[in-house]
Amino acid sequence: MHLWTILGIETSCDETAASVVRGAPLGPGQILSNVVFSQLEEHRPYGGVVPEIAARAHVELLDEIVVRALAEAGVPLGEIDAVAATAGPGLIGGVMVGLLTAKALALAAGKPLIAVNHLEGHGFSARLSDGVGFPYLLLLVSGGHCQLLGVEGPGRFKLYGTTIDDAAGEAFDKTAKLLGLPYPGGPRIEILAREGDPSRYILPRPMKGRTGADFSFSGLKTAVRQVTLAGPVDTADLAASFQAAVVDILRDRAKAAMMMFRRDFPGAETAAFVVAGGVAANGAIRAALAGLAAHEGFGFAVPPIPLCTDNAAMIAWAGIERAALNLFDPLDAPARARWPLYAAEVL
């Protein structure tokens, strides 16, 4: 079995990251280095990510971060097997910085390029950390995405449900802003919720019980806004009530997707339910979905918290998955602001 050593680059939003990972499908892989620079302080005054500031920071930081990742791994550029970089989806300025850097490195070193879908990186992160086998059911839940998919391999996804408006992470951040919490708000809501009463405020659970496995969070966010406009609120209780609503929605929609997955993969009795993306770092959500998986007869896997948020190790690993299938890309591979993970077929 050939072990691939791949340099990964991630610049899709406000993390500038590079990593060297060694391994082969199905994993686990060996993370030789994983350097991440978060731009939180640069964006905090604006209450969110400013694309122009993010792109400029990537330009200023990325070369040094790549050098550091190679040095920490103890692997010279000439000894890597390929260069993998996020080619989308994401903030197009940032994506272009990382992808162009990867193209230059690949050309200079005479190595192949792998243009990685950022969401595929998240989706395969549990194979990197836990060696989860195909097929599995994936809940990809982050600031910009909320999807339930059956995962069969690189480029092979069945979509069971997606958000029809806001993503879960976006709802966390917008709710935090309504509560007057500083950016980034999602982790602060989780901390506050531990002290609050989740039954204090009655909030809706949009789409719960509906046919299919689609999500909606806009109505929940609006309900929180109405509560805050009605008068003084107990911030901890409202945070706990909001988080409880999100947990209920995710659990209900995931249960519906589990039925669809069983229909499509009747032979996968021991399949895993994987939760990935930044919101997967939320402890209450992890615990609730672990309980659901156990009840429904699924294994459960969630990457370590550093692999839930944006990082380059998951990009390098997605590169390993693709390299093993000889899925390399030309040097004119485009950067994409939008890049659906699934094919046109929607189940």
- pLDDT at position 52: 82
Which of 66-80, 180-194, 246-260 bottoms out in mean pLDDT, i.e. has the lowest? 180-194
- pLDDT at position 1: 83
- What order do you get walking across the sheet with 156-162 strand by strand? 156-162, 146-153, 136-141, 272-276, 299-301
Torsions phi, psi of 159, nearest 5?
-85, 125
Identify the band that residue 215 occupies on the pLDDT scale cut at 50, 70 and 90.
very high
Do 125 and 151 form a contact (C-beta atoms < 8 A)? no
CA distances from 236 to 179, 223, 230, 233 (A): 9, 16, 17, 9
Identify the band that residue 345 occupies on the pLDDT scale cut at 50, 70 and 90.
very low
Question: How many whole angstroms separate alpha carbon 223 and alpha carbon 24?
Answer: 47
Which of 53-57, 138-142, 326-330 bottoms out in mean pLDDT, i.e. has the lowest? 53-57
Q: What is the pLDDT of residues 256-303, one digit of tens each?
A: 999 999 999 999 988 999 999 999 999 999 999 999 999 999 999 999
Question: How many whole angstroms separate alpha carbon 236 and alpha carbon 234?
Answer: 6
pLDDT at 347 over 60: no
Q: Quick one: which of 326, 283, 345, 324 has its CA closest to 124?
A: 324
Quick one: tokens of 144? 């910009």
- pLDDT at position 182: 86
Mean pLDDT, range 196-206, rounded to an integer: 97
Residue 9 pairs in a beta bridge with 18, 85
Do 246 and 168 form a contact (C-beta atoms < 8 A)? yes
- pLDDT at position 51: 79
Mean pLDDT, range 141-162, rounded to an integer: 94
Do 23 and 126 form a contact (C-beta atoms < 8 A)? no
- pLDDT at position 185: 84
Identify the band that residue 316 occupies on the pLDDT scale cut at 50, 70 and 90.
very high
Mean pLDDT, range 252-256, rounded to an integer: 98
pLDDT at 156 over 50: yes
- pLDDT at position 346: 34
- pLDDT at position 291: 98
Helical ranges in 110-234 per DSSP H: 118-130, 168-178, 186-193, 218-229
- pLDDT at position 50: 80
Mean pLDDT, range 311-340, rounded to an integer: 97
Mean pLDDT, range 70-80, rounded to an integer: 98
**DSSP 8-state secondary structure symbol assigned to residue 90:** S
Q: What is the pLDDT of residues 94-137, one digit of tens each?
A: 999 999 999 999 999 999 999 999 999 999 999 999 999 999 99
Do 123 and 151 form a contact (C-beta atoms < 8 A)? yes
pLDDT at 344 over 60: no
Is the four-CA dihedral 121, 123, 128, 134 of positive or negative sign? negative
What is the Cα gyration radius of the chain? Answer: 20
302-307 long-range Cβ contacts below 8 angstroms, 24+ apart: 302/126, 302/274, 302/275, 302/276, 303/125, 303/126, 303/128, 303/129, 303/130, 303/276, 304/129, 305/281, 306/34, 306/36, 307/125, 307/128, 307/129
- pLDDT at position 178: 94
- With H, G, I as helix, E, B as strand and everything else as coil, classify residue 21: strand
Do 13 and 94 form a contact (C-beta atoms < 8 A)? yes
pLDDT at 56 over 60: yes
**Which positions ≥6 away from 231 have C-beta within 8 Å?**
none
For the chain, domains (ranges, CATH) are: 4-124+307-323 (3.30.420.40), 134-304 (3.30.420.40)
- pLDDT at position 248: 98
**Burial class of 326 by CB neighbour count within 10 A (0 to 12, 13 to 18, 19+):** exposed
- The whole-model pTM stands at 0.94
pLDDT at 83 over 90: yes
Mean pLDDT, range 149-175, rounded to an integer: 95
Our CA dihedral for 282, 283, 286, 289, rounded to 10 degrees, sits at: -110
Average pLDDT, the chain: 94
Question: How many whole angstroms separate alpha carbon 122 and alpha carbon 126?
Answer: 8
Q: What percent of the chain clears pLDDT 70, i.e. is strictly above it?
A: 98
